[in-house]
Amino acid sequence: MKDFAFVTFLWTDPKYKDKDIIEFKVEHVEKLGRALRKHCTLDFEYVLITDQDPSLFTEPDRVIPLWDDWREMGGCYVRLKAFDEEVGKSIAPRFMWLDLDIVITGNIDHLVDHEHEFWSWVDVNPPTPYCGSLIGMKAGTRSRVWRNFQGIKSRKLARRYIGTDQAWIGTVLGLGEKTFGREDGIYSYKKHIRGLGHLPENCCMVVFHGNVDPSICKDRWIKDHWV
């Protein structure tokens, strides 16, 4: 185990609302891993948390079996267990999870090389404060996010915010945690890039949240960065 890990999740969810449009595959895991190795110069491990056969993958340095806690709720609630202190420490002392539909286009050292105990991409749908597409933490430092989660009751408490796990994270942590945004080179495909025809000069990461995915993107730049 290294001091820092990039983490991604791949699991089967028959309730996924966009399953007829997007299918996350081994290809997504492999391409994300190659991009991380290309665009981060720091020492890290690439960790996959999945319910699939580990032998299907070549890029991850380590594969952790996905737990079943709260999977029945659908959405991304299952990821909340990464906030558990013991689970977090089994991943790495510090780690950052990334959605599979993220495309890395430039150096991302600055998103990792800092002393913040928790950080996230700022959500582009205010007032939701944090986006679950990118969440980083010192293992166990915000363990109340997991410890206080009570299923349906917690989902109702978090309904002022958009999303599943990210809505609960925002509800528990409130405002004031470290966030990265466009000034740091992270852009939303739907909000900032689609229709633009090119990438902004400082772009290091494009997030394909919602019912869009790099596998179906026709923009010219995608062929250079999602490989």
Give the pLDDT score at 197.
Answer: 87
Which residues are registered as beta bridge partners of 207?
102, 188
Judged on CB neighbours under 10 Å (0-12, 13-18, 19+), 55 is exposed
Q: State the Rg of the chain over Cα.
A: 16
Better-predicted residue by pLDDT, 166 or 211: 166
Does 16 score more than 80 pLDDT? no
Give the pLDDT score at 154.
Answer: 98
pLDDT (tens digit, 9 = 90+) per residue, 114-159?
A: 999 999 999 999 999 999 999 999 999 999 999 999 999 999 999 9
Q: Which of 215, 218, 220 is nearest to 102 (CA)?
A: 215
Which residues are registered as beta bridge partners of 135?
97, 120
CATH code reported for the domain at 4-180? 3.90.550.10
Confidence band of 40 (pLDDT split at 50, 70, 90): very high
Cα 43 from Cα 216, distance rounded (Å) = 32
Does 18 score more than 90 pLDDT? no
Judged on CB neighbours under 10 Å (0-12, 13-18, 19+), 69 is middle
| List of residues 6+ apart from 24 with CB closer than 8 A | 10, 100, 101
Domain ranges in the chain are 4-180
Confidence band of 211 (pLDDT split at 50, 70, 90): confident
Percent of the chain at pLDDT exceeding 90: 93
Give the pLDDT score at 19.
Answer: 58
Q: Which amino acid is at 125?
A: N
pLDDT (tens digit, 9 = 90+) per residue, 60-102?
A: 999 999 999 999 999 999 999 999 999 999 999 999 999 999 9
Give the pLDDT score at 21.
Answer: 64
What separation in angstroms does the CA of 209 have from each of 57, 59, 77, 212? 23, 23, 16, 7
Rounded mean pLDDT of 157-170? 98
Does 15 score more than 70 pLDDT? no
Among the residue ranges 8-17, 133-142, 187-196, the one predicted with the least confidence is: 8-17
Q: Which of 217, 214, 218, 219 is nearest to 30 (CA)?
A: 214
Rounded mean pLDDT of 32-57? 98
